[in-house]
Chain A
Amino acid sequence: MAQTSPRSQKSPYPLWFFVPAAVIYGVFFLAPTVTSFWYSLTRWDLSTAEFIGLENFRQFFSEPFLVQGLVNTLIYAVTTSGLKTVCGLLLAVLLTGNIFARGFLRTVVFFPVLVSTIGIGITFTVMMHPTRGIINVALDTLGIDGPGWLTNPSLALFSVALVDLWKGVGLATLIFIAGLAAISTDYYEAARIDGATRFQQFWRITLPLVRPATVTVVTLSLIGGLRSFDLIWAMTRGGPGFSSDVVASVIYKQYQAGFYGLSTAGNVILFALIVAIILPLTLWFNRREVSQ
């Protein structure tokens, strides 16, 4: 209380409004985050923690299946983010254009965003069954031999990424629609008078001017992709083998196995990965925004 100056006492915006939120956030989010750096250097059973230096990290980077989890996380994040950005933008262009049943189509594309990820994961796991699943049955009637979507180790991660796209593209589309709505129609009129084709209009006007929305979609979907756990867990549990394991599923598996120190090291690696990717990206996006 000694710190409170007379000025801040008079302010109609008291700082104690921060306190309840800060306490909950500080205790339940920030404190574990800070202590995780210590616990990642220990062999830990929740009651006693024995300092073992960088042993957990050494193990993480020497076990092939743990390294694969790290590589898969990157592949998964880049794939889902890229697909959501491209498909989201194309869908947004389609759904802001002059088409029949536009409102209904927007609703249909967006609804999966709100549905339980586990429910969607189970549904698609059943639909992707290698022999009886409706996707391969449908492909079969077209004369195509459908792959083992979730049973083929080199395909499983991408199959889950496709379902992630299905579930998440609606949010990307929504953000792009908001971005497209902010572009003045004058540009398109001027371009039409100059004889620009539709493709030129998209490439020279839409794409540069929708940039803020693109930045948001790329950043959000990259963060989501790097942290992704529930869909992968519902569909493959990281399998077959370790072929679709990501860092988040490794963290859970090591926790279940009782390797709390190793699990926490996985968590620290995930922080580092997210910071190492998102921070430079944000700075780069901002710099380009300023220079334009």
Chain B
Amino acid sequence: MRHIRPYITGGIALLFAAVIFILPFLFIAIQAMKSKSEASRLNFSLPQEWLFWQNLIAVFKARDYQLLLAYFNSTLITVASVSVLVILSAMVGYIMQRRRTSWNAIAQIALFMGLMMPPAVVPTIGLLQDLGLFKTIHGMVLIQVAYNLSFSTLLYRSFISTIPRDLDEAALIDGAKPWQIFFRVILPLLKPVTVTNIVVQSIAIFNDFTNPLYYLPGKENVTVQLTLYNFQSMYTSQYNLLFMNILLVTIPPLIVFIFFNRQIVAGMTAGAVKG
């Protein structure tokens, strides 16, 4: 009896997990492959004819290939923001961990505020307009960097505490300049947490809806999450295409998750428990 129990509880848990957590994803996939009239019935039956390719092509063609543009914009914003974030937050985390100055207390408060506080949206829009950055991709990148710095810094700071100071000192004795110590010695050693940072922040920025909604309006600036929002009002009668779009948006995080499961889990728990 004793050795059967794990299978029984596991079996029951699997059943619940299947219904609660997997079913919605199956629903998305099935709806995405139905015809327009079938999808509008919103039920869970299998499609009578499988229209995967037709729907895929239709959703990309919609509104002058808006989805392609959105993928391009989202990718550009994500790659640019994450690159800047990684370098800047590693530098801050390094100094915060290594050096004891009164600036640390200020950095600490700024870090805490950045994690907790909602940004003041309308004053930010006013500022972006004054700087000529409103409705621009690079303005959006700077916003993403500013808003996500705290979390990245937190990850770096706790990881840097595991790297012995002896290394810095050895490099210093060898005559390395401070920036050389950081970029040549320390930064390469931070690779595990850099990977974590890249993965976790990429997903967060790619999935971000609120900030592009406020700071990046306009048809030519559309991001992937905004296409969903636009299609939601446009496709009230074309649920098959709406769900095809949702399916397409769900796939990138799934792929990243399959390859970087361990780094994601490490990042989410390390940042959270030590925060």
Please give the residue numbers on chain A whose beta carbons come within 8 Å of chain B beta carbons, in ascending order. Answer: 8, 11-15, 17-18, 20-22, 24-25, 27-33, 35-36, 39, 44, 46, 94, 97-102, 104-105, 107-120, 122-124, 126-127, 129, 132-134, 137, 166, 171, 174-175, 177-179, 212-213, 216-217, 220, 223, 227, 229-230, 234, 248, 251-252, 255, 260, 263-264, 267-268, 270-271, 274, 278
Contacts and interface: CB of A to CB of B under 8 A. Distances in A.
B123 A264 contact: yes
Contacts of A113: 268
B76 interface: no
B27 to A, nearest CB: 7
B120 A25 contact: no
A116 B228 contact: yes
Given A24-B145, A24-B149, A36-B120, A123 B273 contact: no
Given A32-B127, A267-B122, 6 more contacts: A21-B153, A32-B119, A110-B265, A114-B207, A126-B239, A133-B42
Contacts of B114: 25, 29
Given A100-B14, A122-B242, A175 B146 contact: no
A13 B269 contact: no
Given A24-B149, A178-B273, A271-B117, A114 B203 contact: yes
Residue of A18, A28, A132, A213 with highest tally of chain B CB at under 10 A: A28
B106 to A, nearest CB: 9
Contacts of A39: 122-123, 126
Interface residues of B, number: 91
B250 interface: yes
Contacts of A17: 91-92, 94-95, 182
A178 B149 contact: no
A100 B5 CA distance: 9
B89 interface: yes
Contacts of A267: 118, 120-122
Interface in B82-138: 88-89, 91-92, 94-95, 98-99, 101, 103, 107, 110, 113-127, 129
Interface string B167-194: 0110010000011011000000000000
A120 to B, nearest CB: 8
- Prevailing SS type, chain A contact patch: helix
B33 to A, nearest CB: 15
Contacts of A174: 265, 268-269
29 contacts: A12-B172, A14-B95, A17-B91, A18-B91, A18-B92, A20-B88, A24-B149, A25-B146, A30-B113, A32-B123, A32-B124, A36-B123, A39-B123, A108-B21, A114-B254, A115-B253, A118-B228, A120-B24, A123-B28, A134-B44, A137-B44, A175-B269, A175-B273, A216-B272, A216-B273, A223-B116, A230-B210, A255-B214, A264-B120
A117 B209 contact: yes
Contacts of A212: 273
B28 A28 contact: no
Interface string B240-275: 001100100110011011000100110011001101
B232 interface: yes
Given A18-B92, A36-B123, A127-B27, A178 B269 contact: yes
B254 A21 contact: no
B95 A13 contact: yes
B246 A123 contact: yes
B229 interface: yes
Contacts of B272: 171, 175, 216-217, 220
Contact of B88 (A14, A24, A124): A24
